[in-house]
Structure 1
Amino acid sequence: MDKLNLSLRQRKLLHMMQEQTTYITGNELAKQLGVSPRTIRSDIVEINQNILPYHAKILSARSKGYLYTAENPEIIQQLNQIDTAFFTKEDRIRYLAFRLCLTDEHLNLFDLEDEMFISHTTLEHDLHSLKMKYVLSEPYIKLEQKRNFLTFEENEQKRRSVLNRLFHEDWNYNHNWNTYYGYTFLNKDVLDYIMDEVPLHLDKYGISMEDPSLVSLNLAAAIMYHRVLSGHQLPPASPVLRPDTPASLASNSLADALEGQFHCSFSREERDDLYQRIASGHLPDVSDITPLNISQHFGPVTIQLAKAYIDRIQDVFHLDFSEDEDFYITLLSYIQFIQAPTHILNTQGNQDLEKRILNVEFEIAYLFQDLAQQYLGYYLNQNELLYLAHCISGAVEFLFEIHPETKMKTVIFCHMNMPAAWALKRKILGAFDKYLNVTALLPVNDKNIYDFQNTDLILSTVRKSITNFPGIDTIQISPFLAPDDYLLLSEYINEQRIEHLCAASDITLGHLLEHAFWHEKESFTDRFTIIETMAEDFLQNNLTDTSYLSDILRWESIATNATGPGILFLHSLIPAKETRLSITTLDHRIMWNSYKIRIIIMGAFRPDDATLVFRLLHIFYNDKLDIDTLRMLKTKKEIIDFFKAYE
């Protein structure tokens, strides 16, 4: 079958459009893919040129966005998969990883250059990226290079782990195959049989698994079969302890079924590997877990770590999650999950965008790191922190639910007749009851006689001024609460949530900028030099110690703060004697996590000002920032003037 001549980014864009059932704007697509709207427009032109011969097209409508249409969607889905392509760096890294995993010989660098039609320099860059992905992070497989030859270490477990990731990381959960790539060395019929067979054995022994863990198990079983068939068994090892009886029974039952179907034999080591995958992904039944019986379901280390983390959040950010039993049990389950030898997380999507959306929750999640090192012996990686941040976001929502006193006292002024005004109030409460306490529903003409003394927010259906009473915000909405009104209110409420979480600190951004350490129009090109130079501002003034710099570097190595263009905010909550910023502007922008950065801001904070970080994150990583203007700023005056509008 023919294939579409598209880059990986364009294939991802096409896949996103295939999953949409309504129009989606170019700005939203650009945000998801981390590119500009102009790039989206040009990519869609190229995609349409490729798919039009197959009676498919991405439609464009002014003020609506884009919508995918096709006479036969399955044809385009199949065409969007490739087996071997070198259009992008991602394609080449994938090809290199497969070649290194599946060969027993050393690969010749010059042969690889010829195979992929690339230069020696490009290959060196690709190998560096491959090392970052598989050598310096899980599964930490060694890449051995001697002169012009290279190979992965002879570690069958690690090679299989790489192969599993290659298939799993772009898995299409709607259609049970990889979204962008073909089956390569796997046999489709074998994988289809395994995907049908595995759930039967799990269900037989009452085992439930999350989708990512189940997909990884299916792939592991298929990879196991093909590797054993080619003479690559797991090496002899000590028997694995099997405390999870249902997982033990299910793994043996599955192995027996596969042996019968494929007329082969799996060693004890292969069966132990299946057991560990099933046991690691085995979801606990939380329906009967309560704070009174948690010791029957979780180990002492997990319980101690969860309690220490909840206490740490309260000590640092003054947020009390101790009353949220559901969060506590979910946290315990997650901590137990990440301790499993094989725990699988779905890492699809734009993680930089995810971190920007969850920047406050990610900050709270990062408090877990020192405790993880203390109790578990290692730090969490970015994916593990992101899922912890999701967990925190649910706990933050519950805080507002159990503290109704934090609701904003809201008055609605509507110029429509009573039935329409009443319906408007109901719609507002239906969407925002957790945050708004509607104290009055009034006709607009009552604005002159109403006492606004206990009012935080006014929602008005007219443009005219309602009151000049200090401390009250006014938002104009339509009398029918249109979709744009929901978005406007959501953004406003999010702003107020941040302010509520930052209540402990009254320091303004203007004050911090005015009294910061400044390095203007610097010519730095090395990220470490920038970090070290800025940290020296705090060290030389005895505001922090060397642990501050270590924490900044650790954070950047695990989960960089560079999640968008223009500006970067580096910080640590290692206690400082004074809350100060250090600010560097660059004469020429520097690439940082694939983003062009002009302004780097580093913060040190007194313990009493820790929540100020939430406000600064919200300001510096706000989608409403004028990035086109921001990326041109180089002086203290320009930056101070720019941020006056965002305080």
Structure 2
Amino acid sequence: MPLYLTARMTEIIKILSSTNEFVTSNELAKKLGVTSRTIREDIKIINDKINKYGTQIISKKSKGYKFFFDSEEQRNMLLNQVETERLMFDVNFVALEDRVRFIIQKLLCSNKSIKLELLGDELYVSDSTIKKDLKRVKEILNQYNIAVVKDNKGIKAKGNEINMRFCISDYFINGGEIENIFIIKLINSFGNHFSDEDMKKIKEIILNQLDKNNIEITDETLNKIAIHILIAVGRIKNGQPVSSIRNIEYLKSKDEYEIAKRINHFIESHYRVKFSEQEIAYTTLHLAGNRLGQKEKILLSDLKLFLGDDIFRLSVDIVEQIKIGLKGLNIYEDDKLIYNLGLHLKQLVMRLTYNMNIRNPLVNKIKIQHPLAFEAGVIAAHCVEKVTGFQVNDNEIGFLALHFGAAIERQRIISNSKKKVALVCASGMATSELLLTKLSHVLDNNYNLIGVYALHQLDQLLKQNPDLILTTVPIGRKLDLPVIHVPSILNNRDILEIQHSLRNIHNKKKTISQFFSKELFFPGLKAKTKEEALEFLTSTMIQMGYIDTKTKNSILERERISPTSIGNTVAIPHPMNMVSTQSFICTAILDKPLKWSSGEEVKLIMMIVLEKRLQAKFQEIFESLYDIIQSPENVQTLCKKRNFNQFLASIDSI
């Protein structure tokens, strides 16, 4: 069982165990900045706690204290336990979060109520401090559907055993940056006595059974499942088995149930524990809820049968909704996407059904580096929520986005990523043909000339979604794409100027400034909440005729599904679907930073609204903005501007 030592007690053990000599109380007191009396009191408590390890701190008059142990093995067991608790709690119970972790661990370990006075004594804090800490404890445990209940004997954790195990795995093991070599120690801190060999044995059993069923598994997933099984063995031994599980008949119908049964059978004989039907179903959860792949790929024609009608229909519907919501993103004919998305959704729905948490350490990078893919992930999450009733969090959206990101990259390879260039020319066919031929030599491999158009064919041209226009005549209207004027007959100087203009177009910061508007610039905006800020901006844009209620609702719905804060106190809200008739960026510099999402404050809001034909430009525009605001110094500079022209000048100069 855990020792629950304070930081000072841990330091005393470290000092005494590092020498074979006696150390006086005065020396210890001087090193730790306390009195000799405090050292004596600490050592008395330490001896009560370490006695079960066959170790003691002995004292000798006029010589001091010395670490005594019956065997080297017992000494190492004690020091390993001390190190484990140092990793878990930072051995600093003065810090709130460390005290909270300590209290949660005690609640999850114990089958009985714990007195507040006992917690206070062990943490060396008052009852009032413990009561304050319990507020945070309750907040964390509530995330796992675990309640803290009080009776006449103290407090205890109350909840489904499955949720208790999820909490141990997610909050304690996955919650921190802990190397694999310490995972066993953390599991052991809950009253177990496992070794690295136990982890290896369980992995061996899992791999053996998966191999017999022609199933592949990643190292990360294997590690995750092994951890859950090791936790299960420890909890069963401690009299904390899974006694009930929702929809057990559904789990028993899964192919993974038979595999789980065989895995548990081998573990039973090795650890002398009994896995009930509920425990087998629990193992099934982790097999079905994690990414397992068939060694022999399923044929696309058999995918519907493998996934089931509901998941297959959901996969197709998601791709269809992305086609509608993100026009210009041509990924709906990608069979590989349907295949990978379907397999992922099958596991996702399992995780959502049983409230299984999954961490995605890359989610913020995905948001920023692959914004278009993340938007596709948001649409997918919205579809999943409508069908299942379960809200999909950012971690899961990030994993969904990876599939869309891969599809986007495949599409780019197919299209060769060339920018489409159109020529507008009012001259005759011969002049146009000469100019077109000349331009084809001027443009490098990054550009693809899509044709020559007369000025009256401009609307027809725009339907081709060109990236830029070369024109011999004035266009006569403002367009949301670069326009370069060229003479009908080109000389060498003209060619150099065209090439120079093309290089300037690649400077995205110059292009982005066209989307800002003076009447959509709100410096010093006062708002107490995110909701208040969004309500003001969207309602104002409706009054000015920039958007309608449908677009407003789309912006709010997008924010509900996943916060649009991207770090550096910046948020980039935008609609779920591009339904506007105009393209612009509405900017608000808040009077004071406000809480936008968990752990993130926002000072600068840049709301992007694009018309349908520019949807495919979302990633480019987002990246242009991010190039500017990824620097805290740039954000600070922009937030100081109260004049629109100065603000725009800063955008162009950064």
- The two structures have a TM-score, normalised by structure 2, of 0.65
- The answer for the alignment partner of 2:586 in structure 1 is 582
Supply the distance in 1 between the matched residues of 2:132 and 2:614 (Cα, whole angstroms): 42
Residues 230, 197 of structure 1: alpha-carbon distance in 2 compared, 3 angstrom cutoff: closer
1:512 Cα deviation from its structure 2 partner: 3.2
Supply the distance in 2 between the matched residues of 1:473 and 1:174 (Cα, whole angstroms): 52
Give the 3-state SS of the residue equivalent to 1:588 in structure 2: strand
- The answer for the alignment partner of 1:295 in structure 2 is 304
Name which of 129, 147, 162 aligns with 1:157: 162
Name which of 297, 319, 327 aligns with 2:329: 319
Instruction: Encode CA deviations 1:362-413: one digit per residue, 9 max, x unaligned.
Output: 122112133112333323211111011111221111112112372799xxxx
Query: Does structure 2 retain, via aligned residues, the 8 Å contact 1:81–1:182?
Result: no
Name which of 554, 563, 567 aligns with 1:564: 567
- The answer for the alignment partner of 1:361 in structure 2 is 373
Residues 100, 538 of structure 1: alpha-carbon distance in 2 compared, 3 angstrom cutoff: farther
Unmatched 5+ residue regions in structure 1?
Answer: 6-74, 410-448, 459-464, 476-491, 500-506
- The answer for the alignment partner of 2:233 in structure 1 is 225
Residue identity matched to 1:200: I
Residue identity matched to 1:159: M
Query: Does structure 2 retain, via aligned residues, the 8 Å contact 1:144–1:153?
Result: yes
Supply the distance in 1 between the matched residues of 2:568 and 2:513 (Cα, whole angstroms): 22
Residues 350, 145 of structure 1: alpha-carbon distance in 2 compared, 3 angstrom cutoff: farther
Supply the distance in 2 between the matched residues of 1:473 and 1:121 (Cα, whole angstroms): 69
- The answer for the alignment partner of 1:277 in structure 2 is 286
**Which stretch of the first structure deviates more once superposed, 171-180 or 201-210?**
171-180
Residue identity matched to 2:249: V
Q: Residue 169 in 1 paired to residue 174 in 2?
A: yes
Query: Does structure 2 retain, via aligned residues, the 8 Å contact 1:569–1:620?
Result: no
- The answer for the alignment partner of 1:349 in structure 2 is 361
Give the 3-state SS of the residue equivalent to 1:599 in structure 2: strand
Residues 371, 213 of structure 1: alpha-carbon distance in 2 compared, 3 angstrom cutoff: same
- The answer for the alignment partner of 2:344 in structure 1 is 334
Counterpart mapping for 1:470-489 below 5 A: 470-471=498-499
Query: Does structure 2 retain, via aligned residues, the 8 Å contact 1:209–1:283?
Result: yes
Supply the distance in 2 between the matched residues of 1:290 and 1:4 (Cα, whole angstroms): 59
- The answer for the alignment partner of 1:209 in structure 2 is 217
Supply the distance in 2 between the matched residues of 1:234 and 1:143 (Cα, whole angstroms): 19
Residue identity matched to 1:158: N
1:115 Cα deviation from its structure 2 partner: 5.0
Name which of 436, 444, 454 aligns with 1:455: 444
Instruction: Encode CA deviations 1:331-384: one digit per residue, 9 max, x unaligned.
Output: 111111212246977626364344222223212211213311233332321111
1:265 Cα deviation from its structure 2 partner: 2.3
Name which of 235, 248, 257 aligns with 2:243: 235
Residue identity matched to 1:364: A
Residues 607, 126 of structure 1: alpha-carbon distance in 2 compared, 3 angstrom cutoff: farther
Residue identity matched to 2:513: G
Instruction: Encode CA deviations 1:458-477: one digit per residue, 9 max, x unaligned.
Output: 9xxxxxx99733255899xx
Name which of 370, 373, 379 aligns with 2:385: 373
Residues 218, 81 of structure 1: alpha-carbon distance in 2 compared, 3 angstrom cutoff: farther
Q: Residue 103 in 1 paired to residue 121 in 2?
A: no
Instruction: Using the aligned pairs only, state the percent identity.
Output: 15
Unmatched 5+ residue regions in structure 2?
Answer: 8-79, 422-437, 448-492
1:623 Cα deviation from its structure 2 partner: 6.6
Residue identity matched to 1:297: F
Name which of 236, 256, 261 aligns with 2:265: 256
Query: Does structure 2 retain, via aligned residues, the 8 Å contact 1:590–1:598?
Result: yes
Give the 3-state SS of the residue equivalent to 2:331 in structure 1: coil
**Which stretch of the first structure deviates more once superposed, 206-215 or 271-280?**
206-215
Supply the distance in 1 between the matched residues of 2:185 and 2:641 (Cα, whole angstroms): 42
Query: Does structure 1 retain, via aligned residues, the 8 Å contact 2:586–2:606?
Result: yes
Query: Does structure 2 retain, via aligned residues, the 8 Å contact 1:213–1:343?
Result: no
Report which of the two structures shows the higher radius of gyration computed on alpha carbons: 2
Give the 3-state SS of the residue equivalent to 2:498 in structure 1: coil
- The answer for the alignment partner of 2:490 in structure 1 is none
1:580 Cα deviation from its structure 2 partner: 4.6
Residues 317, 267 of structure 1: alpha-carbon distance in 2 compared, 3 angstrom cutoff: same
Give the 3-state SS of the residue equivalent to 2:341 in structure 1: helix
Supply the distance in 2 between the matched residues of 1:300 and 1:359 (Cα, whole angstroms): 31
Residue identity matched to 2:279: E
Supply the distance in 2 between the matched residues of 1:209 and 1:302 (Cα, whole angstroms): 22
Supply the distance in 2 between the matched residues of 1:229 and 1:386 (Cα, whole angstroms): 37
- The answer for the alignment partner of 2:412 in structure 1 is 400
Query: Does structure 1 retain, via aligned residues, the 8 Å contact 2:217–2:291?
Result: yes
Residue identity matched to 1:199: E
Give the 3-state SS of the residue equivalent to 2:307 in structure 1: coil
Query: Does structure 2 retain, via aligned residues, the 8 Å contact 1:186–1:223?
Result: no
Give the 3-state SS of the residue equivalent to 2:288 in structure 1: helix
Query: Does structure 2 retain, via aligned residues, the 8 Å contact 1:108–1:150?
Result: yes
Supply the distance in 2 between the matched residues of 1:142 and 1:375 (Cα, whole angstroms): 29
- The answer for the alignment partner of 1:391 in structure 2 is 403
Counterpart mapping for 1:458-469 below 5 A: 468-469=496-497
Query: Does structure 2 retain, via aligned residues, the 8 Å contact 1:135–1:141?
Result: yes
Supply the distance in 2 between the matched residues of 1:129 and 1:359 (Cα, whole angstroms): 34
Query: Does structure 2 retain, via aligned residues, the 8 Å contact 1:247–1:282?
Result: no
Residue identity matched to 1:582: C
Query: Does structure 2 retain, via aligned residues, the 8 Å contact 1:353–1:563?
Result: no
Q: Root-mean-square deviation (CA), in Å?
A: 4.6
Residue identity matched to 1:291: L
Residues 96, 565 of structure 1: alpha-carbon distance in 2 compared, 3 angstrom cutoff: farther
Residues 337, 353 of structure 1: alpha-carbon distance in 2 compared, 3 angstrom cutoff: same
Residue identity matched to 1:233: P
Residues 219, 147 of structure 1: alpha-carbon distance in 2 compared, 3 angstrom cutoff: same
Name which of 157, 168, 189 aligns with 1:184: 189
- The answer for the alignment partner of 1:23 in structure 2 is none
Residue identity matched to 1:389: A
- The answer for the alignment partner of 2:541 in structure 1 is 538
Residue identity matched to 1:349: P
Residue identity matched to 2:415: H
1:141 Cα deviation from its structure 2 partner: 3.2
Residues 188, 587 of structure 1: alpha-carbon distance in 2 compared, 3 angstrom cutoff: same
Instruction: Encode CA deviations 1:54-81: one digit per residue, 9 max, x unaligned.
Output: xxxxxxxxxxxxxxxxxxxxx9xx7996
Instruction: Encode CA deviations 1:138-194: one digit per residue, 9 max, x unaligned.
Output: x33345579997643332221121112134415889745439967421535267425
- The answer for the alignment partner of 1:308 in structure 2 is 317
Count matched residues: 504
1:215 Cα deviation from its structure 2 partner: 2.6
Counterpart mapping for 1:597-636 below 5 A: 597-622=602-627, 625-631=630-636, 632-636=639-643
Residue identity matched to 1:271: I
Residue identity matched to 1:366: V
